[in-house]
Structure formats: structure tokens, C-alpha cells
Amino acid sequence: MSAQELFGILPLLILSAGIVILLLQVSFWRGHLGALVTTLITLLLAMASCFWVADELTGATSSLQVTELILIDYTALFFTLILLVTAFAVSIMGFNYLRLRCDPKGVAGSYPEEYYILLLLAMLGACTLIFSSHFATFFLGLELISLSLYPMLGFSLTGDLSPKREQLQSLESAIKYLILSALSTALGLFGIALIYSASGALDFTGIASRITELSQTSTLFATGVTLFLISVAFKLSLVPFHIWTPDVYQGAPTPTTALIATVAKGAVIGFLLRFFNTLDLYSSKTLIDMLSIAAIASMIVGNLLALMQSNIKRLLAYSSIAHIGYLIVAFIIGKSTFGTEAVIYYLIAYIITTLGAFAIVGLVADSVEEKVLSGEYPENPTSDSQNPYQRAFYQGLLWRSPWLASCFAAMLLSLAGIPLTIGFIGKFYVFTAGVEGEMWGLLAGVVIGSALGLFYYLRLLLTLVQRDSSLDTTSNGTVQIAASGQLLLLALTGALLVFGIFPQILINWINAL
């Protein structure tokens, strides 16, 4: 491997080095804050390396092939940068979550540094997945993400201060994700085996060069691609492969839920863009029809089920299913520059709003947990108004914590696609992509899904401003969140509004790819 190729995979090398350093640091010095600092520095260096590698590509070529396994280009670096920024925010959320639930001075002595090692491993897998140009690196990246998420989903069990209820739900979440993820991985591997049997290659370029030799009705190849896409649909929570999503989202630690909803799905979308473009799968009417059916079902079913939810995390879980459906509509348009632009813009809008919504829910729950530990709040809620994950708890939040309620309102308005938010521009892109591709059936699904979504988003927004004197005085107290959480919400809300009011800034960045 040449020096140029080593430089091309610098983001991966920095993440790997950060993991090793953090392992050594934990071996010699246990400290939660120190582990967070090392993680944030690693992520910042990896972000900077994306710009360094991009500058090198500008001077040489638009892409760099590192053996048959990895392909570095502008689009992959941009996706990587987005996910690294997201992981930076999740790390801050994780710190606020873990500092209240893990007590290293307790009898059991629970140390939370392992969470950051797993987070960096998941990021290494996500970046590998985005850079992959071979099924070997695809599988390696996907399994790195999955194997890191299993213990992260059950991480509440390691917190000696975690409520028993949280520990049981966290364990259930981890087991369900483990079983269904293993099933989807098995289907994906079987699909890859069939693709290899039909084409005789595992690298995407090699498969693409042999597609013309295959009959358009090649049953073996078509079956392999179908099974492979079913496996990917599990990871994206597309209907009808969404069954794991609400239970896993509800039971997992909120930072881990945010990680699955943003980084894991964003990495898969980035991979799919490369996979479809390289193999020119957009020309397959059967695959496009399958994706169209899944997109319509996800938009309608996701929003319909969200209407019935009183638990905020389950509501956001079904909402994420619907939003991935919207994203697939933009994805289906094909290889055109506008199609790729629509996918990337909507993905960024989805990540910002989803991350912001989960951050608010997590920080509110952390505030309640702090009161529980100090004895100001009951450990076992007797009503929904005392449970920070229930919609009733947020009743009158505007009057208790105006700043927090305003941020939450901005996230909900963006998810609903209201003007002056990044969510509106993202949904406008989806509509425009549908009109350009003359996909009238998909557009009908987008309209119906958006109307359903508008109802429950505005219902939750109304809950924030309602006063109810029947609520107990404890739940009506001001919600206090950490300074780091306030800065995170300020950054996410600012990005949501800036890119919603001045979308050309982000559009220019995307067009520069």
C-alpha cells in the first residue's frame, strides 16, 4: 500500500488509533471525563482528516481506490464528516446519561468508559461501510456497527444507579436487536453468496462489469440482490422489516437510540448510494418497484402507528420509519445530480431533527433521574405525568422551561416539514424529486404520510403549551439540564433554523461534491 493510499484512509486510521489509546488509557487510569475528552479529540481529528484527504483528492483525482476494498471520494468523505459530527453530539448526550447512572465509588463500582470505546468502534464500522467498494468491507463495517450496538443497547445493566425498570428494558432491547440483526445478517450473507455465484466477483466494479453478461432475467442474481436488500431494509427499519424498531428504541439508553436512528441508518444510506450507482441498479424496474412499495408502506404505516403512541421514544421510532420512507422516495429518482442532492439534503435534515428530538427527551429524563437520586422525585412513577418518556409529562413544558420547550417545538416543526426549518427544505426536495421522476404514486404516499404526521406532531406541540392545574407540583417544576446539553441543543436548533432559512449554504456544499 502506497503512502497516498494510507493517507486516503486517514479517518479510519485516526479512529483506530483513538480506540487503542482509549483502551490503554482505561487500563491505567479510570476516569469518565478523561474518556469523554479522548473520544471528542479523536472525533475532531477524524473530522479534520476528512478535509485533509479532500484537499489531496482535489490536487490529484476525484477518487482514490485503496486496493479493491475501499474507495475514497468526495461523497464518502462528506457522509463520513456528517456522521462524525453526529457521533460528537451523541458522546455529549452519553456523558450526561452515564454520569447519573454509573457510580465508580459505589459498592459494585460501575465505570462507564467502555461506552466510548464501543461508540468509536461503531463509528469505525460506519466509516468503513461508507468507504466500502467490496462486499468484504461492507460486511466488516456492518458487523462492527452491530457488535458495538449490542452491548450499548444493554448498557443500562452496568449502571449501579440505573433504575431497575431501565435495566430490564435495556436488556430486552439488546436481546431483540441481537436476534433480528443476526437474522438480517444471515439473509444478507446468503444474498451475497448468490450474487457471487452469478457474477463471479465480490468487488462492486467487478460485479458491474459482469452485469451486462448476465441476462436481465437472471434468477440467481436477482434473488441474491433481493435478499441483500432485504437485509439492508432491516437496518433501515423499512416496512415490513420494522418490527424491532419501537421496542428497541424505547428500551435502549437514549444516546444509543439516537446513535441507531442517525449514524447506523446514515451509514447504510451512504453505502446504498454507492452500491446502486456502481452497479446501475436503477435500471432494474423490479428493484425500483420493490423499493417504491416499501417506501409507501413505511410512510403510511409509520405515521399511522405513531398516531397511537403516548410514549415519546416509540412515537419518534415510528416517525423515523416514516422519514426513511420519504428518504427512499428521493433515493429512487436515480443517478441524476438532483437525486443525489435530494437524498443528502434530506438525510442531513433527518439527522439534525431526530438527534435534537432524542437529545431533548434524553436530557429531560436525565434531569428527572437527578431528582430521583436526590430524593426529590419518586423512583417508580405512579402516573404518566411523572414519567419523562410519556407525552403527559411534557404538558405545560413551555411554562416550566421555555427554552427547552422552544427547542423541542423547533424539532417537531421541522419533522412536520413546516417552513423556515430544515425539514421543510428537505421535504420540498422530496416533492421536487418525485415530480421530476414523475413518480405520482410515491408523491401520493408522501402527501398522505405528511398529513398524518402533521397531526401527531402538532398534537405534541399543543401539549407543550397546555396548562393543567391537576398535575402534581413535582412534575410542574423547572427542568434543569446540564450546560453541555444546553450548548448541544443551541447548536442543533441553530443549524435547523440557519439551513431552513438559508438553504443555499448547505446546497452549495452538497453541489461541490
* pLDDT tens digits, 36-85: 999 999 999 999 999 998 888 765 467 788 888 888 888 889 999 999 99
Q: Which of 317, 263, 46, 168 lies closest to 38, judged by CA?
A: 46
Contacting residues for 407 by C-beta, under 8 A, at least 6 apart: 356, 360, 489, 490, 492, 493
How many separate helices (H) and strands (E) can be counted in the chain?
21, 2
What is the sign of the dihedral through the CA atoms of 80, 416, 89 and 52?
Answer: positive
Longest pairwise C-alpha distance within the chain:
72
Report the distance separating Cα 448 and Cα 493, nearest Å: 27
Taking a C-beta distance cutoff of 8 angstroms, is the pair 39, 22 a contact?
A: yes
Choose between 371 and 393: higher pLDDT. 393
Give the pLDDT confidence of 404-452 residue by residue, as tens digits. 889 999 999 999 888 889 989 888 888 887 787 778 888 888 889 888 9
**Structure confidence at residue 469 (pLDDT):** 54
Q: What angle do CA 92, 94, 100 make, to 5 degrees?
A: 110
CB of 306 closer than 8 Å to CB of 456: yes
Residue 334 or residue 319, greater confidence: 319
Q: What pLDDT score does 481 carry? A: 80
Per-residue pLDDT, 513: 64
| Mean pLDDT computed over every residue of the chain | 85
Question: What is the predicted pLDDT for the residue at 128?
Answer: 93
How far, in Å, CA of 425 to CA of 440, rounded? 20
Nearest alpha-carbon partner for 72 in 80, 145, 507: 80
